[in-house]
Structure 1
């Protein structure tokens, strides 16, 4: 998932690149969760499972620091120790996703789900992968599977991902529902407010869109996406001062972004 949400591939995320990836969904595997699979009673199997868990946690740590080669080595050691340890394949999927080796990412996520089909973290991560690779409707099924577990530690992340991917699928009504669920669980969650602002804007609720955007801006650094949305909302409300302010921030903060180009070309 942690997080990220990773939502879109805009200039604002290029500037924060790897840090932003950790804020959203795909990396919400939680290192403790990697060791959370049940241990077999047989002594040899117990040792194998424990070894796989240790190597997986090490691999996840290296992954989080972008040391992908070392992460892959640790995760392969995990699988050599116990080829049925689902979290190792889950983290391998995340590593290969970052490396843009999409076939390998998909294969590892699917292997993880074969071994642990109801695992919330695996379903969330694979769902995000599917959403980022042209299958937003299919991804939502995975998020809902993740949410079916009442013990899932971070349901707000799966709801957030479901909202983002519902937007991608053109299903704004569902996106609104999922974003509101996020805010019920975690009031003030910035990305959910940004999502609500975006949907409200598209549906012509400009005052509501402005309210949610301001909530987002209070809690998070502006992105190129959020600033362009601010320009557009202000224009619809006839607030020329706010429109000019958002446009200036966008040009100054993200001069090379696609969003700044849209302002330059008069497409705001």
Structure 2
């Protein structure tokens, strides 16, 4: 089963604050108490924020080159706009441009060293590029930030990275902490099931994978994990029912080919 990590593709609070600030400044534009430079600055912030909104929208639609151009336009207006570097790093990461992603993450962290979103995303970048040990402190930074609104994301990523380090105990710790933060997270439930399956604790593995299936998530890797769990528990009726789902929903998947071969332990 694929172990899944998370990063953001959403407009951050920093950008939202910029937009609100720009709107407030515009309302005061006619006031004699407002100096011209302040009004001009607010207008520039508004323009940069709009560019970033467009960039994020294009990024979410998979139009990476257009998103990069919008970010370039935003940086022409606001050269130190943190979110511009952060989002550009994510785009380059998805494009496989590792050095460009690294450069942009580093610049974003230099501008905002306490930004937990950036720390979590940079940790995930490191984890995916063979630097698992170096990634862990960045996840920890986000996890320990009491103001970070989505600690479950960093906890899940830390768990995945721990699995890649072959540290099953640490992975379990992070995933359980993530479960306490967000028990409805399908990703965390699936990853916990994978941990317990690998450890041979099949009843626990069944508990967590069933939570995913109850939400009517029938991805091929989830169904295959559930089949393997039931096979270990000796419930061939459950195996047959899950296999029917796998065949019906994912007949050309590698998981169904593995089932047909009886390759439960591969």
TM-score (norm 1): 0.82
Q: CA RMSD in A?
A: 2.5
- Structure 2: distance between partners of 1:148 and 1:120: 9
Q: Is the CA contact (8 Å cut-off) linking 1:28 and 1:121 kept in structure 2?
A: no
- Structure 1: distance between partners of 2:82 and 2:150: 19
- Single out whichever of 256-265 and 234-243 deviates more from structure 2: 256-265
Instruction: Write out the 4+ residue segments of structure 1 that deviate beyond 4 Å after TM superposition.
Output: 44-50
Return the match for 1:110 from 106, 109, 116: 106
- Single out whichever of 49-58 and 61-70 deviates more from structure 2: 49-58
- Structure 2: distance between partners of 1:25 and 1:218: 22
TM-score (norm 2): 0.83
The Cα offsets for residues 184-203 of structure 1, whole Å up to 9 and x where unpaired, read as: 12222221111111111111
Return the match for 1:70 from 62, 66, 69: 66
> Do structure 1's residue 202 and structure 2's residue 183 form an aligned pair?
no
Change (3 A) 1:188 1:101: same
- Structure 1: distance between partners of 2:223 and 2:148: 33
Structure 2, unaligned stretches of length 5 or more? Answer: 22-34
- Structure 2: distance between partners of 1:7 and 1:64: 22
Alignment of 1:25-40 (within 5 A): 25-36=6-17
The number of residue pairs the alignment matches comes to 247
- Structure 1: distance between partners of 2:60 and 2:228: 36
Compare CA radii of gyration and give the structure with the larger one.
2
Q: Which residue of 1 aligns with 2:232?
A: 236
Q: Which residue of 2 aligns with 1:15?
A: none
Q: Which residue of 1 aligns with 2:129?
A: 133
- Single out whichever of 59-68 and 129-138 deviates more from structure 2: 129-138
Q: Is the CA contact (8 Å cut-off) linking 2:11 and 2:53 kept in structure 1?
A: no
Change (3 A) 1:131 1:29: farther
Change (3 A) 1:33 1:217: farther
2:7 is paired with a residue of what secondary structure? Answer: helix
Deviation at 1:179, TM superposition (A): 1.4
Q: Which residue of 2 aligns with 1:212?
A: 208
